[in-house]
A and B are shown apart, each in its own frame.
Chain A
């Protein structure tokens, strides 16, 4: 049923001749994504162990691991992850809601679209990180600054994709809904929103990337807690292992967010042949 089936084993005439050799396909498929990262870490550890890589430039993976134990045991790591995670989610909630609502309203209303879209497009072209000096002047280095920047960064991908999704809902389905007597709310709930949902998820996944990026940058510049602060603080004491640990944690958090978003997507779009197994 899915597009992938097309790429299945090609059938040729005489396909029923006995197959002599077969790879253990499923297992290889599952392990394949991990081959490159594991190999890289292995090379890295080997390079450090044999002295090719200086500890001052790059700590060995084992050193990063022991830094992890230390930080985790002291409770600092857990605290910093919670703080960063809460900031990220708050920014996503605020910016995502605003972007979502604007996208829906502008997708549905010509007037609102004419009124606000040009402005939004103009603001969008300003790199939001360029606002950091101004934001520090406004809010100092408190939570508001990070919330503002994250929300602003997240807003646009959500807005653009929601708007696009609403505008591209199948007109025939909307016509069908109208003549089958759907009211405005019913039409939105049963036709427009589900129709826009695939596009909204694209926006969400973009937004998650921008969310972490913005948070990392703003935590590095102005913060007294969080993973970015942990890394920046460690730099001052030349603790490369903790700096690298922070990077690894960002990577893991980013991956986690993406996994959650994909699971949500798969669940919400289970009607879509592209998401059916």
Chain B
């Protein structure tokens, strides 16, 4: 935890000096005995999990292990059938949930230009001019300032996903949930998006929960990776290597091996 602490302090110092990134404090997550059943199908079976504020957690597992369901519960898209999910600040005080999600598909409104799409992330009750201005600032964070007035249909897949990321971040959420956000992108775009995600996370200091089937991606981005199997956490592995990380790093490859073994072996 000491490394994470150092990193968090480092991030805090960035936040106070940087004017472009006034951020909400990252949210910690405390899950106790979380269950989810669909009919007779028990998708999640008693998940106990604590995610400290500011951590980058990755959830991996086979298809149908319940990882996407867990993510949907975290952002309130579905209700758990048992247990509790609580958001808390860095001091352990409970706070109101404030989360945003990025899906595998960008889900941009095709009839809004890019800046207005990002403005959607601010919710109702923000004047359009103000929303656009803040939207453009968020676009700068994902290096898309020059596309503010484009239609989404004119962008590439990677650019659209960056717009979706800007839309999620513009309201400065305490928790960013990522549901296979890079799953539909080609390999090279993916690598540059991973770098972008890592950088944005370090700059803004939110808590991130990434669901992915790509173990390399999980290890490359996360502080900690948990493996889900049949609705239970079967492995919880810390990834202490500092950022920026390099593809092909031997110590990361070793963790990747352990994870793959856990995902494929245990049954």
A residues contacting B by CB (< 8 A) are: 1, 172-173, 175-177, 179-183, 186, 190-191, 194-195, 197, 269-273, 276
Contacts and interface: CB of A to CB of B under 8 A. Distances in A.
B110 A176 contact: no
B151 A176 contact: no
Interface in B75-114: 75-77, 100-101, 103, 105, 107, 109-113
A173 B117 CA distance: 12
A191 B101 CA distance: 18
A181 B123 contact: yes
Contacts of A273: 151, 153
A194 B111 contact: yes
A176 B107 contact: yes
B124 A194 contact: no
B10 interface: no
B123 A180 contact: yes
A181 B167 CA distance: 13
A173 B109 contact: yes
Interface centre among B77, B107, B152, B154 (most CB of A within 10 A): B107
B77 A271 contact: no
Given A175-B107, A182-B123, A276-B151, 13 more contacts: A1-B153, A1-B154, A175-B77, A176-B103, A179-B75, A181-B123, A182-B124, A190-B109, A197-B111, A271-B110, A271-B113, A272-B111, A273-B151
B109 A186 contact: no
Interface string B103-143: 10101011111000000110110000000000000000000
Contacts of A195: 111
A165 to B, nearest CB: 13
Contacts of B103: 172, 176
A270 B110 CA distance: 10
Nearest to A195: B111
23 contacts: A1-B153, A1-B154, A172-B107, A173-B107, A176-B107, A177-B120, A179-B75, A179-B76, A180-B100, A180-B120, A180-B123, A181-B124, A182-B124, A183-B124, A270-B151, A271-B112, A271-B113, A271-B151, A271-B152, A272-B110, A273-B151, A276-B151, A276-B153
The 7 closest A-B pairs by CB, nearest first: A181-B123, A194-B111, A176-B107, A271-B111, A273-B153, A186-B124, A271-B151
Contacts of B77: 175, 179
A114 B126 CA distance: 37
Interface of B: 75-77, 100-101, 103, 105, 107, 109-113, 120-121, 123-124, 151-154, 167
Contacts of B151: 270-271, 273, 276
A190 B112 CA distance: 9
A19 B100 CA distance: 56
A177 to B, nearest CB: 8
Give the dominant DSSP class at A's interface: helix
Contacts of A181: 123-124
B120 A190 contact: yes
A176 B107 CA distance: 7
Most A CB atoms within 10 A — which of B77, B101, B120, B123?
B120
Contacts of B111: 194-195, 197, 269, 271-272
Contacts of A191: 109
A172 B105 contact: yes
Nearest to B113: A271
A271 B124 CA distance: 22
Contacts of B112: 190, 271
Contacts of B109: 173, 190-191, 194
B125 to A, nearest CB: 9
Contacts of B153: 1, 271-273, 276
Nearest to B106: A176
Contacts of B123: 180-182
Contact of A180 (B113, B121, B154): B121
Nearest to A185: B124
A269 B124 CA distance: 24
Contacts of B167: 180
A1 to B, nearest CB: 7
Nearest to A198: B111
A201 to B, nearest CB: 13
